[in-house]
């Protein structure tokens, strides 16, 4: 992002938030009072402790943790928009400097892995930011619980195999946006605050390929034909055939895309296991012939 573009972003953000900030700082009943009077909600001072950052404008913190489901005059959607842009800029800068030899395509994939919905939702859960989100989404708490359990099987990233509560990723982005504005639009301050919180950062050596992409690549190299059979309406699942042979199945009642990804992962695991076995058998036969 050029210096001109950064100045433009600053101007846009200032104009967009001027009215909301005035309401919040003056103690607008619509913007603040309903939030502060809800005893069931945690004090947002805990957020400042997690971040290691004290807000000069507390209204920004209130806004960042106010979900649109509350139906108030403010929500974190605008800050989320800002935070998304800042986060992409930060990873663009850091990875451009860290990997001077990587082409744009590889840098794009690396950045995408670090700013996608699952990666950011993990940040919210890992540091307990989700406990401070103010919302009226009845199913969100159960979704967070399930997400927290499922990601235990995938320490870094599931690559599309788990259902992710988008509200968690939005929360991280809105918090980044709030810090960015509160710190007088300093991306250096944002990186200082969030660098450790975003760990483990996915790097070139830990970046994994999406199971659907990997399945097609493995089969392409061996001239094998891949076919997905959509059974989601009937059984919330997919079957995968390779050269007309059933090699994988996957299910997910919540999202069709996840069922598709799980089927690809199952097929990929079975194919790789078969290839490994063939390789082992081949080596055993060669050793027998030598002896």
Chain segment 235-255, per-residue pLDDT in tens: 999 999 999 999 999 999 999
- β-sheet bridge partners, residue 249: 239
Give me Rg for the CA atoms of the chain: 23
Q: What is the pLDDT of residue 35?
A: 41
What are the tokens at 70?
């509350």
Q: What is the pLDDT of residue 94?
A: 97
In angstroms, the CA 187 to CA 7 distance is 12
CB neighbour list of residue 10: distance below 8 Å, 6 or more residues apart: 185
In angstroms, the CA 22 to CA 266 distance is 53
Q: What is the pLDDT of residue 38?
A: 45
Q: What is the pLDDT of residue 42?
A: 81
25-28 own/partner pairs: CB under 8 Å, 24+ apart: 25/57, 25/59, 28/73
Q: What is the pLDDT of residue 274?
A: 81
Read off φ and ψ for residue 131, nearest 5 degrees: -70, -15
What are the tokens at 224?
């094998």
Angle between helices 166-182 and 77-98 (to 10 degrees): 80
Q: Is 192 exposed, middle or buried (CB count within 10 Å of its CB: 0-12, 13-18, 19+)?
A: middle
Indicate the pTM of the whole model: 0.82
Q: What is the pLDDT of residue 151?
A: 96
Average pLDDT, the chain: 87
CB 209 within 8 A of CB 37: no
What digits encode the pLDDT tens for the residues 15-74? 555 555 454 444 333 333 334 444 457 899 999 999 999 999 999 999 999 999 999 999
Residues of the chain with pLDDT under 70: 1-40, 276, 278-291
């Amino acid at each position: 992002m050029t210096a001109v573009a950064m100045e433009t972003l600053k101007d846009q953000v200032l104009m967009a938030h001027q009215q909301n900030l005035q309401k919040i700082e003056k103690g607008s009943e619509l913007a603040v009072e309903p939030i502060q009077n809800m005893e069931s909600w945690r004090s947002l001072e805990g957020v400042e402790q997690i971040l290691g950052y004290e807000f000069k404008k507390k209204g920004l913190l209130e806004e960042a943790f106010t979900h649109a489901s509350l139906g108030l005059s403010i929500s974190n959607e605008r800050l989320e928009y800002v935070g998304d842009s800042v986060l992409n800029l930060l990873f663009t800068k850091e990875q451009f400097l860290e990997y001077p030899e990587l082409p744009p395509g590889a840098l794009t994939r690396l950045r995408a892995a670090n700013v996608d919905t699952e990666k950011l939702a993990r940040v919210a859960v890992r540091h307990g930011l989700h406990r401070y989100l103010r919302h009226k989404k009845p199913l969100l708490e159960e979704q967070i619980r399930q997400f927290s359990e499922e990601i235990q099987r995938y320490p870094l990233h599931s690559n599309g195999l788990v259902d992710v509560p988008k509200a968690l990723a939005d929360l991280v982005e809105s918090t980044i946006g709030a810090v960015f504005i509160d710190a007088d639009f300093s991306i250096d301050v944002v990186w200082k605050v969030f660098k450790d919180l975003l760990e483990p950062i996915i790097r070139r050596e830990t970046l994994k390929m999406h199971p659907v992409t990997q399945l097609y690549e493995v089969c392409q190299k061996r001239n094998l034909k891949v076919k997905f059979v959509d059974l989601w309406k009937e059984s919330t699942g997919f079957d995968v055939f390779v050269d007309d042979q059933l090699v994988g199945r996957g299910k997910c009642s919540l999202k069709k895309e996840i069922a598709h990804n799980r089927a690809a992962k199952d097929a990929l695991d079975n194919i790789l296991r078969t290839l490994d076995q063939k390789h082992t058998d081949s080596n055993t036969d060669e050793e027998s012939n030598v002896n």
